[in-house]
Structure 1
């Protein structure tokens, strides 16, 4: 059952990297026949192969050599090979060396096999489907016989098969191996797509170009990636389809067709080009860039983002082509490391290092641009130098061959070890259950591939590079991806720099780890982070506004409304600040509001408090003068009882202002307006009583007047008590129904939280002020009418001035009070209290104090009576 599940895992994925196939040649499933092998020799063997004998063999379908050929048609019989000279891709020779190294190390390791040798057989696919099928069938057949699925006299002891590094080659191998129910174990391709999305988000690239190979895999890639990009806030500006391969007779037309895409590549806003393709597609792009360079067209300035399918390899004839366009590219490569013996192993590679290596000659000649053939015509000898055979691989440009093990080679290396460890586990299991044929372990040589399968699923080991190799429940290789920064140099050197890691098993959002400071961008970016957006970012303080008819990545920027902010780039909408915060001038962040109230620590509070205390001191001084000179005529004429009441009330009026300074509290708020209203009402009542007394006194002096009975001390006191009682009643109702309380005002002033006393009932507050205004107006009216009475010291005119000051101050108070906020509103009320109180004190008592202190000669009954007469 597990076998079919694993097969389904492959059917759903055509994968980059290594495809590890275990051939199940079960006697119970397939018919076994014994035939005469000699009559089934392959009439056209594959020339490029590498064979090393062993008790058990591992096969590999390599893709290193190809021939130029025309497209197949049914008009004529196709030729086997169009051009005799093969073309080698030198970089892919490393895959062959990785397998050879792994087999060598396993055979030399005493703890894996004993009395059993491991061999390999590598055949070339020539990058074509028909040759891939032929190579696969050849490996499944008897040794050197093209008889698949038959047991011959020279039977094949193939135990496992490693597919090509190109997904199409692996898919073609799978078509053959699927007949044998062969499972496939590969990493999941979709994990790379997620890694690219995370990379684009990390750098803020939301306007990208897409390139995909023009086949079914490219269609599947676009169907997967386009919605994924959109869901993560990324748009594509264009999609370019890249041909997957070209034949000689189609090459010119292909270049003309692709040349139409060059203008699209030149899109200036798009700095990022995400490409899905494989080496044949890469060669098409290289041809296009080579043509652009030949025609002196400005080079592309892009950051190429590629998946692990794409490798920057070069043919020998291309090694002098400029590859600077790909400098700074970023790729997701299958994780690789450096086995301990790889560097030493490559140092011994020579043309004669292995007698049966059918790849080494083409690799050597094309990598070093020389010839291993000793007999040449004169013309050919002039074109190519003779190889010494002692050339060193480290001298080959990196575009042709890399000395560090690449991701695919690393997977080949691990795949061979995985098979060996599975065989070792099977050997131990059989030994434990005493199912060995003899004590020398010869039964392991007769193992069938399908028997290894169950042991492979549970394989777990540490390789010589220190990495752990194992598979998950569905047969996928548990492996991460390296984020690689590609550096291209003019001399053909290629350097891979690992700048990050993609861990698909990590929690969501933490899959990608990248080190920005290690990345070297294309030289045209001057080492600044490339910016790839449809339009400039909306900076904090602005929000995005969609452009009609365009993709969501293209937008306008609208400033945030008043009271709202956006604190990041490209905000979808502005947000309001909390109540205790306010936006800064740029509307990019919320700033905590400061508490605001009239404090004793600030200049305004200090000045007002000083003035209030000073006037209190002056009032005390005046009261002292009047007490000291209470028996003088001018004090007696002023009705000293009312004068004392007025001075004492003024003495309390000035300190009332201090209740308005400082942080408002519950008691303070209750006392502020009520104490001020009652005390001022007492003062105004005494002024009113004094004015009425003056008027009645003059009216009583007339002969036959009946006003004498009203002139007595009780009348004045009654007026003061009655008028004060009414204000006290208003305040009592106010405190009982809706008393003032401490409150905060978050909205009146920007950046401030106003600590204030809420009046509770505005109606009652204005009733208190209105009643005081009524008393002032009545006093002013009576005093104004009595201002010309014939008296040596007519107090009515001074009361008139005092009431004029009082009314003027409080009439200007109301509009000013309503138009201000916070501590300045409180300061306005304090100012009015001090001014009105000072007006009463100054207008009424300063003339008397002047006479008492400075002109005592005028303070006599004679002077008062003379003036009256």
Structure 2
């Protein structure tokens, strides 16, 4: 066994080695009839000393106090506690001997490659798992704003790079990253560099260095004096206590420490308390180390019963929660022992007793041991299941410690969480928030570390230009988009049949809308339609009742009946535009409207032509007598209406109207409307109606001054002027409207134009028929004819 450098806690590693060997030798089930020996060398971190000690062990030229070892015995494995760099260098130098090299300290991630490093094993996790564990803690508490201080060794540089990638992948970013030399302790000047670097920001500070040593409590106190309160420190090194006094308890509770999974072995502390003090590995400070255990300030679990009254400030190893890396050393020795046991049992035919002759299998070490060590599976002295994973690393994880300074001037390392990369997904990381003691300056538990506040649901992040990714503004989602989680990068577009609510945090069904009979607008239009329908029906009844009167007979009463019936249908067809659109109603509404209006305008055209013809026929020598009569008028109505009917049929056979669900016309609504199918056909129908109205208007306008008490030309002119005004204003209004209001505009145009025709043509006649009956006689009509003849 070789050690890294002198630290008081390293003596526990040496003692754990001795303790494990004695425990195995006293176990009749493990390596029966074989006594394990050991060599212990301390290198003090000198490369020359490491090489020298290793060669002495391999050559069998060393002895150790209280143990009698035959130097000619073959070395089974090298268990070492070097730093990452030294482990790497040692392996490259001594791999030619194929000795298993088992590390209980090095976490170098590059050496977890069984192909490139087939003879390397370790009993702690590698740095990849450490990075994952730190990332899990940051993600659990939602900490995004991070500062990292790390060493510049190759393994740490790569590990920190992986850590940074994980932080950024979870939406965090690095406020600061400083690196420092890794081959020595950090100086006070470098600590001052830390202070100035993090003084201006509130971040989580990760100290990724001193993996195998500890922070001085004085350095921690000095750090706190120069750094703002309200910060959290994550370290991978313990905080050592050189001397406890009042000022140390001004340190606030802000440290999380990641240490490889550790336990105290049964009887180990009793072994230390009762064994005779020895100088292990030429330890020049061994006497002081043992005397410290006699100090009354040491906990009872480790305090030795001796008569020494010597007191010293260096009592750090009294307060170590896990006594160095003793647990990892213990498992390393057991792993090698069980591998030896399996190899020997395999070579001796699984016999439990064997002699010197068949024990020659021992001399096939070291190369034969690897196969058994790589596949080892055993229970250590604590009864824990142990095995090496595919990379030759012990399948274990990390403890998360909270360093707590209590008011009663005591220090406590509280285990507040665990990370086991070999556990099932979802069970690999656990944290006990109730066990954590937060700094008193925090206004919330746990604290939040962000460059920008979280974006609540309904908002999305907008990265600030020139700033890290976690520095952002929060902007609301656009209409039709939502964000239902905090800190979303982009908003989610709602499905076509849904829309965002007012808070933009959930999609709600769109409101289905159409012009219905139940809404106020629909009720109003229906009421107007039915009112004019009844008025028109009443006028038709009046005309039928007074059919023999001159005013009814003088203006082609049959065409008047047709016109009134067509107006009745016009008022009723407006009802087809109200209600839930269906394919049938969509087809009927436009074709009915087009045909009924064409009949109405054809009737007006026939009446206008009849008026003009009648007065022209009274002139001497006129040949228009033969064009008088109902046959010509009916032919005009029929032929003009037939043309519109043909247009409507062509429309229906080519691209008929149909019910259409419009998801995008209006915000937040689903509009059910009629699609006209062919817009060209629709405007052809309207254009033809305009053509009939225009021809009728021109003829009526020219005949407006003909002398006759019953001349309709003036009334027709004015009615058509109303109709033309309505439909000319209809076109831009219709095109600028949307949804049900577009339908309402068309209904209004139908009702207004129909009402204009009704009121301007028939109301004056009804006035004479009902209120001025004296004017409704043949005498007035006869006088008028005499004047015209003269």
Task: Normalising by structure 2, report the TM-score.
Answer: 0.79
User: Is the alpha carbon distance of 1:220 and 1:761 closer, same or farther for their aligned partners in structure 2, counting shifts above 3 Å?
Assistant: closer
What do residues 23-73 of structure 1 show as CA deviations (whole Å, max 9, x unaligned)? xxxxxxxxxxxxxxxxxxxxxxxxxxxxxxxxxxxx57486x54xxxxxxx
Determine the structure 2 residue equivalent to 1:5: none
Q: Does 2:570 match 1:653?
A: yes
- In 1, Cα distance between the equivalents of 2:784 and 2:153? 124
Determine the structure 1 residue equivalent to 2:231: 302
User: Is the alpha carbon distance of 1:727 and 1:663 closer, same or farther for their aligned partners in structure 2, counting shifts above 3 Å?
Assistant: same
Is the partner of 1:821 in helix, strand or coil?
coil
1:400 aligns with one of 300, 313, 319: 319
Is the partner of 2:81 in helix, strand or coil?
coil
Is the partner of 1:278 in helix, strand or coil?
coil
- Contact 1:547 1:556 survives alignment (8 Å): no
- Contact 1:351 1:361 survives alignment (8 Å): no
- In 1, Cα distance between the equivalents of 2:46 and 2:647? 106
Determine the structure 2 residue equivalent to 1:818: 735
- Contact 2:294 2:305 survives alignment (8 Å): yes
The Cα shift of 1:684 comes to 1.4
Determine the structure 2 residue equivalent to 1:364: 293
Q: Does 2:591 match 1:674?
A: yes
Determine the structure 2 residue equivalent to 1:185: 121
What do residues 103-160 of structure 1 show as CA deviations (whole Å, max 9, x unaligned)? 565456554354555576666555655665666566557686389xxx9866668654
- In 2, Cα distance between the equivalents of 1:627 and 1:467? 111
Aligned counterparts, 1:512-523, within 5 A: 513-515=429-431, 522-523=439-440
Q: Does 2:373 match 1:456?
A: yes
Number of residue pairs matched by the alignment: 749
Q: Does 2:340 match 1:423?
A: yes
Q: Does 2:182 match 1:258?
A: no
- Contact 1:792 1:865 survives alignment (8 Å): no
1:497 aligns with one of 415, 421, 446: 415
User: Is the alpha carbon distance of 1:199 and 1:298 closer, same or farther for their aligned partners in structure 2, counting shifts above 3 Å?
Assistant: closer
- Contact 2:76 2:99 survives alignment (8 Å): no
- Unpaired runs of 5+ residues, structure 1, are 1-58, 67-87, 386-395
- In 2, Cα distance between the equivalents of 1:841 and 1:274? 93
User: Is the alpha carbon distance of 1:770 and 1:450 closer, same or farther for their aligned partners in structure 2, counting shifts above 3 Å?
Assistant: closer
What do residues 160-216 of structure 1 show as CA deviations (whole Å, max 9, x unaligned)? 443227546756775786464322212432333344455555655554322123555
Determine the structure 2 residue equivalent to 1:639: 556
The Cα shift of 1:520 comes to 5.8
The Cα shift of 1:683 comes to 0.8
1:312 aligns with one of 230, 238, 256: 238
Aligned counterparts, 1:25-424, within 5 A: 59=1, 61=3, 66=7, 88-89=8-9, 95=13, 98-99=16-17, 102-103=20-21, 106=24, 109-116=27-34, 126=44, 145=63, 159-164=76-81, 166-167=83-84, 170=87, 178=95, 180-183=97-100, 184-186=120-122, 187-197=125-135, 200=138, 205-215=143-153, 217-219=155-157, 221=159, 235-244=173-182, 254-280=187-213, 282-283=215-216, 287-292=218-223, 296-299=225-228, 301-306=230-235, 310-317=236-243, 322=248, 327-336=253-262, 342=266, 346=269, 348=270, 351-354=273-276, 356=278, 361-365=290-294, 368=297, 400-402=319-321, 405=322, 408-424=325-341
- Contact 1:334 1:482 survives alignment (8 Å): yes
The Cα shift of 1:687 comes to 1.9
What do residues 62-104 of structure 1 show as CA deviations (whole Å, max 9, x unaligned)? 86x54xxxxxxxxxxxxxxxxxxxxx34xx6654665566556
- Contact 2:75 2:365 survives alignment (8 Å): no
The Cα shift of 1:828 comes to 0.6
Of 634-643 and 805-814, deviating more is 634-643
- In 1, Cα distance between the equivalents of 2:318 and 2:603? 108
- Contact 1:215 1:244 survives alignment (8 Å): yes
Determine the structure 2 residue equivalent to 1:689: 606
- In 2, Cα distance between the equivalents of 1:749 and 1:61? 77
What do residues 661-686 of structure 1 show as CA deviations (whole Å, max 9, x unaligned)? 23433333333322211110101111
User: Is the alpha carbon distance of 1:414 and 1:152 closer, same or farther for their aligned partners in structure 2, counting shifts above 3 Å?
Assistant: closer
Determine the structure 1 residue equivalent to 2:681: 764
- In 1, Cα distance between the equivalents of 2:292 and 2:51? 23
- In 1, Cα distance between the equivalents of 2:455 and 2:197? 26
User: Is the alpha carbon distance of 1:299 and 1:835 closer, same or farther for their aligned partners in structure 2, counting shifts above 3 Å?
Assistant: closer
Aligned counterparts, 1:793-804, within 5 A: 793-804=710-721
Q: Does 2:746 match 1:829?
A: yes
The Cα shift of 1:255 comes to 1.6
- Contact 1:664 1:742 survives alignment (8 Å): yes
Is the partner of 1:260 in helix, strand or coil?
helix
The Cα shift of 1:557 comes to 7.2
- In 2, Cα distance between the equivalents of 1:846 and 1:98? 119
- Contact 1:195 1:512 survives alignment (8 Å): no
User: Is the alpha carbon distance of 1:844 and 1:97 closer, same or farther for their aligned partners in structure 2, counting shifts above 3 Å?
Assistant: farther
- Contact 2:693 2:720 survives alignment (8 Å): yes
- In 1, Cα distance between the equivalents of 2:554 and 2:594? 29
Determine the structure 1 residue equivalent to 2:529: 612
- In 2, Cα distance between the equivalents of 1:464 and 1:351? 19
User: Is the alpha carbon distance of 1:489 and 1:127 closer, same or farther for their aligned partners in structure 2, counting shifts above 3 Å?
Assistant: farther
- Unpaired runs of 5+ residues, structure 2, are 101-119, 281-285
User: Is the alpha carbon distance of 1:503 and 1:375 closer, same or farther for their aligned partners in structure 2, counting shifts above 3 Å?
Assistant: closer
Is the partner of 2:240 in helix, strand or coil?
coil
- In 2, Cα distance between the equivalents of 1:418 and 1:552? 46
User: Is the alpha carbon distance of 1:220 and 1:384 closer, same or farther for their aligned partners in structure 2, counting shifts above 3 Å?
Assistant: closer
Is the partner of 2:131 in helix, strand or coil?
helix
- Contact 1:140 1:156 survives alignment (8 Å): no
Task: Normalising by structure 1, report the TM-score.
Answer: 0.72
Q: What is the root-mean-square deviation of aligned Cα atoms in Å?
A: 4.7
- In 2, Cα distance between the equivalents of 1:805 and 1:300? 83
The Cα shift of 1:698 comes to 4.2
User: Is the alpha carbon distance of 1:200 and 1:154 closer, same or farther for their aligned partners in structure 2, counting shifts above 3 Å?
Assistant: closer
Is the partner of 2:414 in helix, strand or coil?
strand
